Amino acid sequence: MAKDTPYQVLVRDLPVHRTFDVPPERVGEWLKGMPMRDALGAPDPDPQAGHGVADLDLYADGAHAFAAGTFRGELTVACSRCVNPVTLTIDEKLRVTFLPRHELPDDDAEDGRVDDADEDEGVVVNEEDIDVFPFDGERVDLEPLLREQFVLAVPFAPLCAETCKGLCPQCGIDRNTASCSCEPPIDPRLAALKGLKIPSGTGT
């Protein structure tokens, strides 16, 4: 069932200290389909997609496994105004618990609460504090964790700069580096008025 990825560690090898490199090809693959990645029109694979390094201590305790350490990396997405590349940096402390699937909080519970029936099983999962990933008991698969670092690093509307002027909605020119003489579109209701002569009572 578990597919082989370079991000798996066998439980029988724990405890262990490992570093994991995430190359640009992998970052590009993981972020494929995100609007702010696709908007770049980057080549595939994209050597500039980003990269990362996880530096982790992994250990096991009975049916659970744990990872603690750091993740550092960067990734490139499009500015939501001008579509130029924006490099985002990631510098996170990781503290993750791997639980057998039957102990995981029910994903279907919309409010994130664990069913009452699960409360006595001895695992208190406070989703605010720790990340929890599924675990088959034999190998710890870090790929979902590493992937999440990149996905969560992308803000809703990335900006190359707070002051980014964006693209002209008429001609598409990048207003940060060029200017155009496009007039803002006129509200059709006002356009109708523009043709009217406004009677002037001031005697001109």
The helix (H) or strand (E) run that includes residue 98 is strand 85-100
Least Å distance, CB 52 to Zn ion, is 24
C-alpha span between 139 and 7 (Å, rounded): 10
Q: Going by C-beta distance under 8 Å and a sequence separation of 6 or more, which residues neighbour residue 152?
A: none
164 scored as a contact of Zn ion (CB under 5 A): yes
180 scored as a contact of Zn ion (CB under 5 A): yes
Query: Which member of 5, 87, 89, 170 binds Zn ion (CB under 5 A)?
Result: 170
Number of residues that bind Zn ion (CB under 5 A): 10
C-alpha span between 97 and 83 (Å, rounded): 37
80 scored as a contact of Zn ion (CB under 5 A): no
160 scored as a contact of Zn ion (CB under 5 A): yes
Tokens of 186: 């006129």
Query: Which member of 11, 99, 154, 168 binds Zn ion (CB under 5 A)?
Result: 168
Query: Residue 12 burial by CB count (10 A; 0-12/13-18/19+): exposed, middle or buried?
Result: exposed
Least Å distance, CB 185 to Zn ion, is 11
Which residue ranges make up the site for Zn ion (CB under 5 A)?
Answer: 79, 81-82, 160, 164, 168, 170-171, 180, 182
